[in-house]
Amino acid sequence: MKTENVDVLVIGAGPAGTVAASMINKAGYKVKIVEKEKFPRFVIGESLLPRVMDHLDEAGLLEGVKAAGFQEKFGAKFVRGHEVCDFNFSQQFSKGWKWTWQVPRGQFDQILATEVQKMGIEVNFQTAVTDIKFSGTDSTTTIVDKDGVESTVNAKFIVDASGYGRVIPRMFGLDEPSNLGVRKTHFTHFRDLKRPEGIDGNRITVVVHQQRTWIWIIPFSNGVTSVGFVGDPEFFLDHPDNPIERMKSIIATDMHTAERFKDAEMMFEPRTIEGYSISTKQLFGEGYVLCGNATEFLDPVFSSGVTFAMESGNKAGKLVGEMLGGRNIDWQKEYTDYMMQGINTFRTYVSGWYDGKLHSIFFAEKQMEDVKEKICSVLAGYVWDMENPYVNNHEESVRKLARVLEIDKILAEG
Ligand code: FAD
């Protein structure tokens, strides 16, 4: 059996894996990516946050993505019936990027993989990890290519960026249930011939459909728009089982989708995912670190997934480089605590979305601009800016603000 030696093996060529590999490569170490699928492959997660621009830039991936002409995204619009709450990334508290993109992920991830290949990083597509044996921090990983040929890779360290594949968490029993509720989603891409005129037609819109059910509408620059419904599993019981009929039936129930997508062509049979929120017992261990969705996935509502994938890929990649250079890394403090700061901030906002606190804030009659700018920075992904009270004291800030606005509303209604 063929055996090869690398400094670092990265599992998965999504945003987490490509950013991590680029950072390790920059540090001067031999890194190889193994990717189970043939690219381009479909994955959901199409709305980015401005924070990813920092990571694309630092990893040397920004110019390649820019050349693709993806739909630019300057903010996020939340609607409930006729009520509108508009966040504009140019009006935010934290210093950072004021825009990003809405991307079909097959094409986006393909570009990331091509760019890292151009840097000299080897990417083995259609090659799956099937077994890992650790001996201290060293490891021997068994991989199988598309023809069923097995080989092994010896590495000094592994970055598991296998997303929903969760290679190391599954292999070593690290999966843990999320403390967020079980939710379900049904989505497809539509050929969007009835886009509203002007800027509104290209903007991401998040629609409150019912208190705990919402819709994403994410237009791409190629005239296709991603539409997905997310809610408690019971919500979907009122609609047909057949995926196409179910989608038609649900879009007919909301004023923001009924007319626009009524006769629109679906680019693929709508897909359903249930129970996607997941956590893990630990983010690192002897010889490995977990990145992106292989760690914890919260919820799609604030489009934080790719941001966490890249933030963790960037952080882990740098730390691995420093560790191989001889620095003693405190992985708990420098990696887990750091990542959990951001993840827990978003957790507060996700919980607040489903329990209604954020609806009270977003759709309040009185909008306080200074507060809105701070929340806008959270929604832009700047959840490590400890100057922002809506980051460093996220739970209390959100709870208190919602309470004040709810009392205001009661008083106004007499
Ligand atoms: P991935 O992008 O999943 O990449 C992991 C790669 O690892 C895959 O290519 C896979 O083939 C490979 N792999 C798996 N197993 C193996 C193996 N055994 N061997 C080798 N390779 C392997 N995020 C956003 O930022 N914005 C959104 O709008 C958004 N919407 C979402 C909507 C829904 C309904 C859901 C469920 C998620 C959404 N997300 C969104 C989250 C987003 O999908 C993920 O957070 C993101 O794709 C994670 O990137 P990653 O690099 O960790 O993993």
- How do the pLDDT tens digits run along the chain, 414 residues long? 999 999 999 999 999 999 999 999 999 999 999 999 999 999 999 999 999 999 999 999 999 999 999 999 999 999 999 999 999 999 999 999 999 999 999 999 999 999 999 999 999 999 999 999 999 999 999 999 999 999 999 999 999 999 999 999 999 999 888 888 889 999 999 999 999 998 889 999 999 999 899 999 999 999 999 999 999 999 999 999 999 999 999 999 999 999 999 999 999 999 999 987 888 999 999 999 999 999 988 888 999 999 999 999 999 999 999 999 999 999 999 999 999 999 999 999 999 999 999 999 999 988 889 999 999 999 999 999 999 999 999 999 999 999 998 888 888 887
Element (H, E) at 171: helix 167-171
Bridge pairing between strands 288-290 and 150-160: parallel
User: In the block, which residue shows the tokens 């004023």?
Assistant: 255
Q: What three-state secondary structure class fits 102?
A: strand
Cα(402) to ligand 1 centroid in Å equals 32
C-alpha distance from residue 271 to each of 229, 244, 247 (Å): 11, 9, 9
Which string of b and e fits 105-136 if b means at least 16 CB within 10 Å? beebbbbbbebbeeeebebbbebbbeebebee
Query: Which of the listed residues 52, 61, 152, 164 should we mutate to test ligand 1's pocket, taking the one with most ligand atoms within 8 A of CB?
Result: 164
State how far the Cα of 24 lies from the Cα of 35, in Å rounded to an integer.
17
Composition of the chain by helix, strand, coil, percent to 5: 40, 25, 35
Residue in 40, 34, 21, 14 with CA at minimum distance from that of residue 125: 34
Give the pLDDT score at 412.
81
Atom number of ligand 1 nearest to Cα 228 = 34
State how far the Cα of 368 lies from the Cα of 339, in Å rounded to an integer.
29
State how far the Cα of 74 lies from the Cα of 67, in Å rounded to an integer.
18
Give the pLDDT score at 182.
87
Residue in 244, 250, 356, 344 with CA at minimum distance from that of residue 296: 344
State how far the Cα of 75 lies from the Cα of 377, in Å rounded to an integer.
11
State how far the Cα of 257 lies from the Cα of 250, in Å rounded to an integer.
9
Q: Count CB atoms within 10 A of the CB of residue 321.
A: 22
Give the pLDDT score at 60.
98
Asked whether 44 lines ligand 1 (CB < 6 A), one says yes
Give the pLDDT score at 367.
81
Cα(259) to ligand 1 centroid in Å equals 31
Q: What are phi and psi of 346, to 5 degrees?
A: -65, -30
Element (H, E) at 216: strand 213-219
Q: Please give the torsion angle defined by the CA atoms of residues 157, 161, 165 and 166, in that order, rounded to the nearest 10 degrees.
A: 60
Q: What three-state secondary structure class fits 349?
A: helix
Q: Count CB atoms within 10 A of the CB of residue 373.
A: 17
Q: Alpha-carbon torsion 58, 61, 66, 71, what sign?
A: negative
Q: For the sheet containing 205-210, what is the strand order?
A: 83-88, 75-80, 205-210, 213-219, 224-231, 184-191, 271-274
State how far the Cα of 239 lies from the Cα of 33, in Å rounded to an integer.
42
Asked whether 270 lines ligand 1 (CB < 6 A), one says no
Give the pLDDT score at 302.
93
User: In the block, which residue shows the tokens 């700018």?
Assistant: 373
Asked whether 13 lines ligand 1 (CB < 6 A), one says yes
Atom number of ligand 1 nearest to Cα 128 = 19
State how far the Cα of 370 lies from the Cα of 349, in Å rounded to an integer.
18
Asked whether 12 lines ligand 1 (CB < 6 A), one says yes
Q: What three-state secondary structure class fits 218?
A: strand
Which residues, at least 6 apart from 412, have a Cβ–Cβ distance to it below 8 Å?
365
Is there a cis peptide before residue 40, judged by omega within 30 degrees of 0? yes
Structure tokens belonging to residue 395: 């739970």
Q: What are phi and psi of 394, to 5 degrees?
A: -60, -45
Asked whether 350 lines ligand 1 (CB < 6 A), one says no
Structure tokens belonging to residue 217: 């509408």
Which residues, at least 6 apart from 29, have a Cβ–Cβ distance to it below 8 Å?
7, 8, 320, 321, 324
Asked whether 303 lines ligand 1 (CB < 6 A), one says yes
Write the single-letter amino acid at 348. Answer: T
Asked whether 204 lines ligand 1 (CB < 6 A), one says no
Cα(367) to ligand 1 centroid in Å equals 35
Helix-then-strand count for the chain, H and E: 14, 19
Residue nearest to atom 45 of ligand 1 (CA): 305
Structure tokens belonging to residue 313: 């890929």
